Chains A and B, each alone.
Chain A
Amino acid sequence: MTRILHVALRDFLATVATKGFVFGLLVLPVVLALLAIVGPRIFNDQAYRIEGEYAVIDPTGVVLPELRAELEPEAVARRRREEFARTAGWAREVLGDMADAALRQSMDEALGPAPDIRLTALPADADVEAAKSWLNEQTDGLPHAALIVVHGHAVEPAAPGGELGAYDLYTAPGLDDRDLAFIYRNVRDAIVDARVGARSLDRAALDALLRVPRQPSTTVSPDGERTTVRGFNRILPFAFMALLLMGIMAGGQTMLTSTIEEKSTRVVEVLLSAVSPMELMAGKLLGAVAISLLMIGLYLGIGLVALSSFSMLGLLDPWLILYLLIFFLIGFFVIGSLMLAVGAAVNDMTEAQSLQMPLMLVVMLPWIFWPAVSRNPDSVLAVTVSHLPPVNTFGMLLRLASSQPPPWWEVWLSIGTGLVSVVAAVWVAAKVFRIGLLMYGKPPDFRTLIRWVRAA
């Protein structure tokens, strides 16, 4: 046991006591923090200005005036205020009390500068085909952006009881989707206003009738009440799966590279004179699991501090952390021991890539089924992947972190299946490890690996 601990300690220190590891460990939280601070300034659309000339054929004669009214600077400002009010309501629900001024500034930045639109009225009987060519005419002023052809029955039905029409839209090539969304919204509002006016109704009164503001939700639990945090149930499974994957990959990759280094520098035979192959393997697994636990512990700690600072710590079930640990250990020993075997079987990293490919595919699977499992944790897919080694660790953790956790017996059945897969994976890895360590030259293919497993 002492020898195993010495091997584990060397492998642990050889990895964590390097600048590369410290840098790699800190780079993720730093990048996330940077994205949170700088991201909105880099990625927002504040610099985009909606501008252009729209040609309108309006046989109703009432839509175009409404559209002009919609695009008046005062109307634009009014809609922004309404948008702000809606967003502020949502944001308060999620973020708690944030200064309105800061929100308004964020909204202004997000919505960008006021649009610059010119409307050109075409005769009601204008030739649409001829008008289309206008879209591609060169101009020194505002670009020709859109041709809007309002249907003759857009405001009043062609016959009593008949359906109302809408409009046809033709746009210039390369028109941005933000311009398109702007046109849709404003033409729709203009037509609705025209219809409301034609029926002598009060648009403001109608809007007031239709408006039901969304109220903050309160989650009531046996422990008390708290404001419902939307999206948490979706983020949590993802965060736990990401932690699990990072931990397994970090440890597995460490073992793979250190074993290849020991083989290529021929240290391995010196080591084998002092420890048995099984002691060496156990030591390496132990060292790598410590590295992964350090990484998971650090990220989990940062996550808990972040939750605590937003007073959201109560949202996290402490049992989830215990299950994360259990499923991490199962996943690590399955994937990690097989990666260790790959490291022992090859001579360099290039050769490792082809043997590592199936393991990498397994590791990629959770990214594919994460949305489906976290949204429908009781589906056939979710139940299957949470019991099928070696992805059961990811599958079950996703279900546990979802809004509908599985019953306890399913969790422990998955843990049992996982433990059996650990025994099988370590058994296979040990056989390959023992033979592969002293094999140099042509790397083994899968058939050779199977022969090693059967022969050793």
Chain B
Amino acid sequence: MDPAIRMTAVTKTFGRMTAVDDLHLEVPRGGLYGFIGPNGAGKTTAIRMIMSILLPDAGEISILGHSSALEAKDRIGYLPEERGLYKRMKVRPFLRYLARLKGADGPDLDRRIAGALERVGLGGVESKRCDELSKGMSQKVQFVAATIHAPDLLILDEPFSGLDPVSMRMLRDLILAEHRRGATVLFSTHVMPQAEEICEHVIMVHEGRKVLDADLDDIRGRYDPRSIRFEPLDPGADTTGLASVPGVERIRPDGQGLEILLAAGTDPASAMRRIMDATAAARIELARPRLEDVFVDLVAGGGAAEADRLRVALRNAAEGEPA
């Protein structure tokens, strides 16, 4: 069976800027894929090409077995990064309009709309005008609009941006529910912990190029844990001596404790023993490799200054600040 999405050697330039550069990716049917990378990595451009909103300069794209998303639009649900509602339209006519554009018409459409709104906790808002909804409510209505026709493929571009933690959790559950229903899900985010929480597989892009395409479990297995979280028993203890413990490359504050980075090739078990010998520990654990670390490791190529710059950029972007 054809994969849900296949991009082969796809390139897109805007003037002198290459937004997507020779991108190859494949999302199998039923997959739950994260498309991750910092702001400006080319995620939205790639997604717009998948949706046939933009046309690639080079390369081929296949969607649900078709050469263009235009031929399978009724089977695709799409929540763009730049999304909105008709302010003066009421919720039910808006959802009815989008459902009909997606070919989901029929006598039970209003009932389905009511049910979908109920599921996202918006029962009874059908008759409200869209400009009367709060931001969180608007986002949920937009999600309903993207899924009301029960699509085979759901593409979500930065679905969590601007959401409060409660709405974020609800949206995550809704995405997982769509996946359980059988939909293939591809969502983009620059907030890597979100991808870690939801995805089975991640595709990382940086400056238009793919830098990683792997299952999350493979990533965890492939990238050695080189980070130890440590909290001293005595909060006032002098921990400067830990930097001279053999195998320790760098120490940096991490919440109430420290994050200790090990040099490449160091045995984590031995290093942990030596750290505990140097300073009594209230807590010490080997951290699983985070996507952020993997990304930084792949992109920075071992340069400490570049790695720090990338980390700051990723965290700023995650907090909504300029990267």
Residues of A within 8 A of B (CB): 2-3, 6-7, 10, 14, 261-262, 265-267, 269-276, 438, 440
Q: Is the CB of A276 within 8 A of B52?
A: yes
Tell me if B89 and A265 are in contact (CB < 8 A). no
Contact with A along B88-125 (1 / 0, CB 8 A): 11000000011011110000000000000000000000
B312 CB–A CB distance under 8 Å: no
Determine whether the beta carbon of A438 is less than 8 Å from that of B83: no
Chain A residue with minimal CB distance to B97? A10
Query: A-side binding surface: helix, strand, loop or mixed?
Result: helix
Q: Say how far A14's CB is from chain B's closest CB, in angstroms.
A: 7
Flag the segment in B72-80, B264-272, B276-284 that touches A: B72-80
**Contact assessment for B82 and A266 in the assembled complex, using a CB-CB cutoff below 8 Å:** yes
Q: Which B residues lie within 8 Å of A266 (CB)?
A: 80, 82-84
Contact of B73 among A6, A7, A261, A275 (CB under 8 A): A275
B78 lies within 8 A of A273 (CB): yes
When distances are taken between beta carbons in the complex, the residues of chain B under 8 Å from A261 are: 86-87
> Contact: A275 with B101, CB < 8 Å?
yes
A3 and B85: CB pair below 8 A? no
Residues in B with CB closer than 8 Å to A438 are: 48, 53-54
How far apart sit A269 and B82, CA to CA, in the bound complex (Å)?
7
In the assembly, what is the distance between CA of A368 and CA of B83, in Å? 45
Partner pick for A267 among B70, B73, B86, CB 8 A cutoff: B86
Assess the A6–B101 pair: CB atoms within 8 A.
Answer: yes
Interface pair A7/B84, CB less than 8 Å apart: no
Partner of B78 from the list A6, A262, A270, A440 (CB cut-off 8 Å) is A270
Q: How far is the CA of A269 from the CA of B53 in the complex (A)?
A: 8
In the complex, B145 has a CB within 8 A of chain A: yes
Residues of the B chain whose Cβ atoms lie less than 8 Å from the Cβ of A440: 82
| Contact residues, B224-240 vs A (CB, 8 A) | none
Set of chain A residues within 8 Å of B97, measured between Cβ atoms: 6, 10
Q: CA–CA, A231 to B197, complex, Å?
A: 80
Assess whether B142 is interfacial by the CB under 8 Å rule.
Answer: yes
Is there contact, CB below 8 Å, between A267 and B53?
Answer: no
Please measure, in the bound complex, the distance between the C-alpha atom of A2 and the C-alpha atom of B104, giving whole angstroms.
Answer: 12
Q: Give A18 Cβ to nearest chain B Cβ, in Å.
A: 8
- How many Å lie between the Cα of A22 and that of B174 in the bound state? 42
Closest residue of chain A to B53, judged by CB? Answer: A272
In the bound complex, CA of A266 to CA of B83 (Å): 5
B27 near A: Cβ within 8 Å?
A: no
The CA-CA distance from A276 to B68 in the complex, in Å, is 11
Residue contact B89 to A270, C-beta cutoff 8 Å:
no
Residues A267 and B52 in contact, CB atoms below 8 Å apart: no
> Is the pair B86, A273 in contact by a Cβ cutoff of 8 Å?
no
